[in-house]
């Protein structure tokens, strides 16, 4: 049984509000593991340990969680999964209350969540800022070369018509355009507020769309939104000839994939295995796997198993 520990964060009030806004407790629904209401600690499963791995509510994070789970299972770790929990606000609350032990994270997003005033942009500096502000009850393991950044994307037609190559080029046009993105993008420091503060952009409207979902791609392609927040590893960018706007002011910091884990759940086997996964991941193979998952409709668990069998 998991030893439940409540982590006190300076951000706890914000987390509580955000979790409530997600439509109830995301941990109430069993979306993957056999023991959705029973956790695990590093001491519960013997030397190898046991772990409940969560994922955010978009396909890439689910894929990464499945990779972690497959690799750990091969290493003898007792693994449960709880997938598609929700946004960062929701799954951080799950780590706080012990509902999950670990989740694939992204350095820049997590660092900004913990420190909205972050100015670092490089992988090394972002990681340093993240480690400085990470609660002691949480731990990040080794980062991977794989990086998936937020980006602003437009159609090729819009880019040509408005002569757009960078986010800064939107300054004279934003007032006539609709921006689309996940709900949390409207309130995060590197979202709508950041675009206003850093680039002076005030869009005509914001349309809330599911993170990582085809709805965002369809909305952009169909003209329901003019500019969209899409992750850079999404294969739909290339498939639809979308244009990723450059970010000269580095609003979107480095976003290396990294395991976030409860410190009391770490065992040598878990740490070594997840570090091996990080060493094997890079942006190219992550993007290729996302083609399999999103474009070809393959099961993320099967794609993850193939990756682990071939690389670990």
What's the per-residue H, E or C state across the chain?
CCCCCCCCCCCHHHHHHHHHCCCCCHHHCCCCCCCCCCCCCCCCCCCCCEEEEECCCCHHHHHHHHHHHHHHHHCCCEEEEECCCCCHHHHHHHHHHCCCCEEEEEHHHHHHHHCCCCCCCCHHHHHHHHHHHCCCCEEECCCCCCECCCCEEECHHHHHHHCCCEHHHHHHCHHHCEEEECHHHHCCCCCHHHHHHHHCCCCCEEEECCCCCHHHHHHHHCCCCCEEECCCCCCHHHHCCCEECECCCCCCCCCEEEEEEEHHHCCHHHHHHHHHHHHHCCHHHHHHHHHHHHHCCCCHHHHHHHHHHHHC
Q: What pLDDT does 94 receive?
A: 95
190 lies in the same domain as 128: no
The alpha carbon dihedral of 85, 300, 219, 201 has a sign of positive
pLDDT bin (cut points 50, 70, 90) of residue 29 is very low
Q: What percent of the chain has pLDDT over 90?
A: 70
165 lies in the same domain as 74: no
Say how far apart CA 260 and CA 285 lie, in whole Å. Answer: 21
Residue 214 has pLDDT above 70, yes or no: yes
Residue 249 lies in a domain: no
pLDDT bin (cut points 50, 70, 90) of residue 253 is confident
**How many separate domains does the chain show?**
2
Residue 76 lies in a domain: yes
- The domain in which residue 201 lies consists of 152-244
Say how far apart CA 10 and CA 170 lie, in whole Å. Answer: 35
Residue 83 has pLDDT above 60, yes or no: yes
107 lies in the same domain as 233: no
pLDDT bin (cut points 50, 70, 90) of residue 121 is confident
189 lies in the same domain as 236: yes
Q: What pLDDT does 102 receive?
A: 98
Residue 16 has pLDDT above 70, yes or no: no
Residue 194 lies in a domain: yes
185 lies in the same domain as 91: no
pLDDT bin (cut points 50, 70, 90) of residue 250 is confident
The whole-number average pLDDT for the span 130-150 is: 95
Residue 39 has pLDDT above 70, yes or no: no
pLDDT bin (cut points 50, 70, 90) of residue 99 is very high
Q: What pLDDT does 212 receive?
A: 54
Residue 69 in tokens: 């789970």
Residue 187 vs residue 51, higher pLDDT: 51
pTM, to two decimals: 0.74
Neighbour order of strands in the sheet with 50-54 = 78-82, 50-54, 102-106, 257-262, 138-140
The whole-number average pLDDT for the span 52-80 is: 97
Residue 243 has pLDDT above 90, yes or no: yes
What mean pLDDT is reported for the chain? 86
pLDDT bin (cut points 50, 70, 90) of residue 48 is confident
Place of tokens 């400085």: 132
Task: Write the CA distances from 312 to 197, 278, 309, integer angstroms.
Answer: 44, 11, 6
pLDDT bin (cut points 50, 70, 90) of residue 28 is very low
Residue 9 in tokens: 């964060």
Residue 47 has pLDDT above 80, yes or no: no
Say how far apart CA 147 and CA 281 lie, in whole Å. Answer: 9
Q: What pLDDT does 187 receive?
A: 84
Q: What pLDDT does 190 receive?
A: 84
Residue 235 lies in a domain: yes
- Which residues on adjacent β-strands are paired with residue 236? none
Report the chain's C-alpha Rg in angstroms.
19
The whole-number average pLDDT for the span 102-123 is: 93
Residue 99 lies in a domain: yes
Residue 2 lies in a domain: no
232 lies in the same domain as 285: no
pLDDT bin (cut points 50, 70, 90) of residue 303 is very high
CATH of the domain at 182: 3.40.190.120
* List of residues 6+ apart from 214 with CB closer than 8 A: 236, 294
Contact between 145 and 283 (Cβ < 8 Å): yes
Place of tokens 């990681």: 127
Nearest to 164 by CA among 227, 111, 258, 211: 227
104 lies in the same domain as 237: no
Q: What pLDDT does 100 receive?
A: 97
């Amino acid at each position: 049984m998991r030893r439940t520990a409540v982590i006190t964060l300076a951000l706890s009030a914000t987390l509580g509000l955000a979790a409530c806004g997600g439509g109830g407790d995301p941990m109430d629904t069993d979306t993957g593991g056999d023991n959705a209401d029973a956790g695990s600690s590093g001491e519960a499963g013997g030397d190898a340990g046991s772990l409940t791995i969560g994922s955010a509510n978009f396909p890439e994070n689910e894929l990464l969680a499945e990779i972690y789970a497959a690799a750990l299972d091969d290493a003898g770790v007792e693994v449960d999964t709880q997938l598609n929990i929700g946004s960062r606000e929701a799954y951080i609350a799950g780590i706080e209350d012990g509902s999950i032990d670990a989740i694939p994270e992204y350095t820049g997003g997590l660092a900004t969540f913990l420190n909205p005033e972050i100015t670092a942009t490089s992988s090394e500096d972002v990681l340093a800022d993240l480690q400085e502000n990470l609660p002691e009850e949480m731990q990040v393991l080794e980062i991977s070369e794989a990086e998936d950044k937020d980006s602003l994307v437009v159609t090729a037609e819009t880019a040509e018509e408005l002569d757009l190559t960078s986010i800064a080029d939107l300054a004279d046009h934003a007032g006539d355009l609709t921006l689309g993105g996940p709900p949390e993008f409207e309130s995060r420091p590197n979202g709508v507020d950041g675009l206003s503060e850093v680039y002076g952009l005030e869009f005509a409207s914001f349309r809330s769309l599911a993170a990582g979902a085809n709805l965002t791609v369809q909305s952009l392609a169909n003209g329901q939104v003019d500019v969209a927040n899409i992750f850079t590893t999404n294969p739909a960018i290339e498939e639809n000839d979308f244009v990723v706007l450059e970010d000269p002011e580095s609003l979107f910091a480095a976003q290396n994939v990294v395991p976030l884990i409860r410190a009391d759940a770490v065992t040598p086997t878990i740490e070594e295995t997840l570090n091996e996964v990080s060493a094997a991941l890079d942006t190219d193979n992550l993007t290729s796997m996302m083609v399999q998952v999103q474009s070809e409709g393959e099961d993320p668990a099967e794609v993850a198993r193939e990756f682990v069998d071939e690389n670990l």
